[in-house]
Amino acid sequence: MPFKARTFPIMLAICLFQLLLPNPARAVDELQKLAIETTREASPRLECGSKCDHSVLADKTVQIAGSELRTLVVGSIAAGEDCHACAPQLSLFAYRQSEGKWDPVAQSIAATTMGSWGAGPEISVEPYSTNTLGLNMDAGYCGQGYCSDMRLIWFLRGSSFQEVGCYATGADNSGAVGENSRDLESWEVASVFDAKSEEVGSVTLVVTNLKNRKKRKYELPFSNGRFDSSSLPEGLKGNCDQ
């Protein structure tokens, strides 16, 4: 008993010390709360207004030009809006780590509306060059037995995000013609580019025909600050206005 009595103050001191240490999980929560609160304050500019429910749809971190950048995507949509054409408005935030804390770099409130059934798109973040942060939004849509997928690309530029291009990432019409039909159209796209280059270059789109596994390649050039899809086959251009 005397031994336990002597060790209690030591254990208490250790616990108090640990509480004072930076808590990464707590920091994550606080940053997400900040992004949500900033979006909530802008509710008058959002389609759902005061009826908006706000939630963090993505929280991604990547190294760019020697700095750790963290990107948060907040989705805003009214409760109960879950029809096939219902999609949240997306607000984008970027923070840079400096001296153990996250400093705000950029934000774009209500940058776009994307998704379906009340849910947002799949979000990924990756460098498109040694100093260019790219944020990809991938979403799909089905109607009349035809399903299509697309990717919308955003670049972090200055204090905001800018949309720089889109392209189709897949299609399947088996719901309309049947899986064994001659008219079956089923394909998917993989993208290849040089993220180690100092300048953003073209993206190679590798299209795989899922019927026969044959592949074809197309170039998506980058010029005048955005990707130019005008030379792509019509089915690959995507629908940037979706």
Residue 46 and residue 113 share a domain: yes
Residue 1 lies in a domain: no
Same domain, 36 and 128: no
pLDDT one-digit tens code per residue, 61-119: 999 989 999 999 999 999 999 998 899 999 999 999 999 899 999 999 999 999 999 99
- Domain membership of residue 3 (yes or no) is no
What is the residue range of 191's domain? 121-242
Instruction: Note if the pTM is more than 0.75.
Output: yes
Identify whether residues 209 and 242 lie together within a single domain: yes
Same-domain pairing of 105 and 127: no
Give the pLDDT confidence score for residue 240 in this predicted structure.
64
Is residue 80 domain-shared with residue 56, that is, in the same domain? Answer: yes
| 137 and 238 belong to one structural domain | yes
Long-range contacts at 208-211 (CB < 8 A, ≥ 24 apart): 210/172, 210/186, 211/184, 211/186
Question: Distances from the Cα of 20 to the Cαs of 4, 29, 146, in angstroms?
Answer: 25, 17, 56
pLDDT score at 29: 83
- Tokens for 22, please give them: 């930076």
Give a yes or no: residue 17 inside a domain. no
Are 242 and 132 members of one domain? yes
pLDDT at 25: 43
Same domain flag for 42 and 105: yes
**The pLDDT of residue 84:** 86
What's the total number of domains in the chain?
Answer: 2
Q: Which residues of the chain have pLDDT under 70?
A: 1-28, 240-242
Domain boundary among 120, 139, 174: 120
Residue 86 lies in a domain: yes
